A and B are shown apart, each in its own frame.
Chain A
């Protein structure tokens, strides 16, 4: 088999979906694990609906972070943009240094409750790895290859698309993987702002002293992030 990890990923994913399906159907298990809690089964929303909302938020944020990080990374490796590089570096590092939960709290008065402040926090949090990896990848393209490309009469747009980005791709992909996994793991925080996601049972459980809900939300969030990491590792082109 060309991708030996594919079977492992399939098993993991099937196990995850099965667990999501089974969670509300096993009241006996939860009562046994949490005998002191009156309603240990999470029934407020369906797990699959939460999963869908969670993925929508996380992947939407990762896509936006990719656009911004890639654009900034490309901009500050050429022409006049080179002088902006320290500024970009500092801005993106600062954006990641602020905890997402703080971003949400600060954005609440402006953006209100729900998905919007969560999206903002996730984008700020995951744009840095994309930008860093883009800059690193583009910097590593040998200057002699660029000299040859220019000398043969390739324009700068073509050099970027046909030479620089393909050569930088393995490094950029590694940054994308980090961004996606960060976004998926961090989306749970959005529940604080009322965004529907796998973090909702965690926040609700914390508010109500229901550790059974907290545990279920936490396990499924972490599990999903692991699956995403596994899948993205498989999806990477093997370095030539």
Chain B
């Protein structure tokens, strides 16, 4: 869906992005993880031509974006930024309708779409569509920002640190919502963050950048295995590597296939080993029951197995 081919962006002598080659398949949620100045935002902004590569090319559905007129290109790509950037003089409904109006949709279709989107991002249409941006909380504003990006149903969504300015609780809520929306809509999402936990919570493809170079990519579990790479260890924090690795492994994989005792604490389906560890610490338990999920059967997860896995 999105392909970076040897992409470089130089500002003077400095390369903000340095020979990055990365492929994001349709329907994936790819997180670009890196510290500030690592070039992750610049890389993202090359997809909708808010930045232009100095060398290399960016392909969207097999087409070089350099050959697509910028305004047309951008109307077909959802864009969400950290500061949200809602238009302060327009009501929520008008903000969400920005791209459909640019595309010349008729009024009735726009109104229906706006209400559907507000519902999708968890805001009551009747209460929110006539509000102005200054009447929204940070979390609500970013939900509207997400709805605005999804308005014309673009196949690709670019999200530049969308949750970084929010309170931790709101941030976790929105991460959950994004995973849900990603599951429901099947969008291809490119998501920039500097937050390791956020990256591991969201990514099904993780790309780690440092000084403009791509230093690791793959499924989160694969990236965590590449801990020979010193930079990756540094980014995730040497002392927390084991903890972060647990976040990328499903609890089911380590469960002993036996009928769990009835009074054991129960881990929700699809939980990671990190969640299992936290549940054990919270309850002072040395084993938890794991519910069956997909290919894995249920069973009992033991503290000793968990510690060995880390």
Interface residues of A (CB under 8 A from B): 142, 144-155, 158, 163, 166-167, 240
Residues in B neighbouring A153, C-beta threshold 8 A: 70-76, 99, 102
Q: Are B98 and A152 in contact (CB under 8 A)?
A: yes
Residues in B neighbouring A154, C-beta threshold 8 A: 71, 98, 102
Residues in A neighbouring B98, C-beta threshold 8 A: 152, 154
Does B84 touch A at the CB level, under 8 Å?
Answer: yes
Residues in A neighbouring B70, C-beta threshold 8 A: 153
Q: Are B79 and A152 in contact (CB under 8 A)?
A: yes
Q: Are A147 and B81 in contact (CB under 8 A)?
A: yes
Q: Are A145 and B85 in contact (CB under 8 A)?
A: yes
Residues in B neighbouring A142, C-beta threshold 8 A: 83, 85
Contact with A along B72-109 (1 / 0, CB 8 A): 11111001010111111100000000110010000000
Residues in B neighbouring A152, C-beta threshold 8 A: 74-75, 79, 98-99, 102, 148
B191 to chain A, nearest CB (A): 15
Q: Are B84 and A148 in contact (CB under 8 A)?
A: yes
Q: How far, in angstroms, from A200 to B235 measured CA to CA in the complex? A: 79
A145 to chain B, nearest CB (A): 5
Q: Are A147 and B71 in contact (CB under 8 A)?
A: no
| Contacting residue for B88 out of A150, A151, A158, A167, CB 8 A | A167
B220-251 contacts to A, CB under 8 A, are none
Does B132 touch A at the CB level, under 8 Å?
Answer: yes
Q: How far, in angstroms, from A167 to B76 measured CA to CA in the complex? A: 26
Q: Are B83 and A151 in contact (CB under 8 A)?
A: no
Does B309 touch A at the CB level, under 8 Å?
Answer: no
Closest to B132 in A: A240
B9 to chain A, nearest CB (A): 17
4 cross-chain pairs, A with B, having the tightest CB-CB distances, nearest first:
A148-B85, A153-B74, A153-B75, A151-B79
Residues in A neighbouring B74, C-beta threshold 8 A: 150-153
Closest to A240 in B: B89
A240 to chain B, nearest CB (A): 7
B211 to chain A, nearest CB (A): 24
Does B272 touch A at the CB level, under 8 Å?
Answer: no
Does B50 touch A at the CB level, under 8 Å?
Answer: yes
Q: Are A147 and B50 in contact (CB under 8 A)?
A: yes
Dominant secondary structure of chain A at its interface with chain B = helix
Interface residues of B (CB under 8 A from A): 48, 50, 70-76, 79, 81, 83-89, 98-99, 102, 132, 145, 148, 158
Q: A144-B81, A150-B50, A150-B74 are in contact. Are A167 and B89 (CB under 8 A)?
A: yes
Q: Are B50 and A145 in contact (CB under 8 A)?
A: no
Closest to B85 in A: A148
Q: Are B71 and A166 in contact (CB under 8 A)?
A: no
Q: Are A148 and B102 in contact (CB under 8 A)?
A: no
Q: How far, in angstroms, from A186 to B181 measured CA to CA in the complex? A: 63
Q: Are B71 and A145 in contact (CB under 8 A)?
A: no
What are 26 contact pairs spanning A and B, CB under 8 A? Answer: A142-B85, A144-B83, A144-B85, A145-B85, A146-B85, A147-B85, A148-B79, A148-B81, A148-B84, A148-B85, A149-B85, A149-B87, A151-B50, A151-B79, A152-B75, A152-B98, A152-B99, A152-B102, A153-B71, A153-B73, A153-B74, A153-B102, A163-B87, A166-B89, A240-B88, A240-B132
Q: How far, in angstroms, from A158 to B74 measured CA to CA in the complex? A: 15
Closest to B82 in A: A144
Q: Are B48 and A151 in contact (CB under 8 A)?
A: yes
Q: How far, in angstroms, from A158 to B87 measured CA to CA in the complex? A: 13
Residues in B neighbouring A158, C-beta threshold 8 A: 102
B291 to chain A, nearest CB (A): 42
List 10 extra interface pairs beyond A148-B79, A151-B48, A153-B71, CB under 8 A: A145-B85, A147-B81, A148-B81, A148-B86, A150-B50, A151-B79, A151-B85, A152-B75, A240-B89, A240-B132
Q: How far, in angstroms, from A154 to B85 measured CA to CA in the complex? A: 14
A91 to chain B, nearest CB (A): 32
Q: Are B84 and A144 in contact (CB under 8 A)?
A: yes
A117 to chain B, nearest CB (A): 41
B43 to chain A, nearest CB (A): 15
Q: How far, in angstroms, from A146 to B86 measured CA to CA in the complex? A: 10
Q: Are B88 and A145 in contact (CB under 8 A)?
A: yes
Q: How far, in angstroms, from A158 to B71 measured CA to CA in the complex? A: 11
Residues in A neighbouring B148, C-beta threshold 8 A: 152
Residues in A neighbouring B72, C-beta threshold 8 A: 153
Residues in A neighbouring B85, C-beta threshold 8 A: 142, 144-149, 151
Residues in B neighbouring A147, C-beta threshold 8 A: 50, 81, 85
B260 to chain A, nearest CB (A): 50
A239 to chain B, nearest CB (A): 11
